[in-house]
Structure 1
Amino acid sequence: MITSIILLNVTRTRINEIAEQLAEMREVSEVYSVTGQYDLVVIVRVEHNDDLAQLVTDRLVKIDGIEKTDTMLAFKAYSRHDLESMFSI
């Protein structure tokens, strides 16, 4: 499983609407509104790199109000939780 963290800058008046729209996507496990440089943090878990590429380059670009994204791939999880079983697709 591939985990990625996507940081988003969005139109300020649409933060809640966009967060809810993202949370409905199958690949999205969590969406956080945050303080600081970004407006939303999205945790994505997919089976293949192509799934992530399709999500970012085809589906996210079609959401009106997303101004900028910064996508990071997670290499290793350091957690007490068994994330693989919690988020198995």
Structure 2
Amino acid sequence: MITAFVLIRAQGNRIAALGEAIAELPRVAEVYSVTGPYDLVAVLRLKELDELDDVVTQGILAMVGVERTETLLAFRAYPKRLLDAGFALGIENSRDS
């Protein structure tokens, strides 16, 4: 299984609609609205690398309101328990504020 992260810059008035539309594409596992230079991040789960073209070029980039994408391929996933612990720290800290 190949995991890819697609960083998406979108027109401001289209972010919510694009997030929902992208989430419905085949091979898209999750879509997040984020801060920073990009507006959305899509997490893709692919069986073969060729599917990346189908999802990104023919799918996401073809949508009205998408200005730019940048795709990152994951090399390695670290144990889920470590990821969960890292995210839990952020949640606990925000509760203390």
Amino acid at match of 1:43: V
- Structure 1 residue runs of 4 or more that deviate by more than 2 Å after TM superposition: none
Corresponding position of 1:64: 64
Percent of aligned positions that are identical:
43
Gaps of at least 5 residues in structure 1 are 82-89
> Which one scores higher on RCO, CA 8 angstroms, separation ≥ 6?
1
Name the stretch that deviates more: 57-66 or 28-37: 57-66
CA–CA separation in structure 2 for the residues paired with 1:8 and 1:26: 17
Q: Which has the higher helix share?
A: 2
Query: TM-score with structure 1 length normalisation?
Result: 0.85
Q: Please list every run of 5 or more consecutive structure 2 residues that lacks an aligned counterpart in the other structure.
A: 82-97
Computing the radius of gyration from Cα coordinates, the structure with the larger value is: 2
The residue type equivalent to 1:69 in the other structure is T
In structure 1, give the amino acid aligned to 2:37: Q
Normalised TM-score (structure 2):
0.79
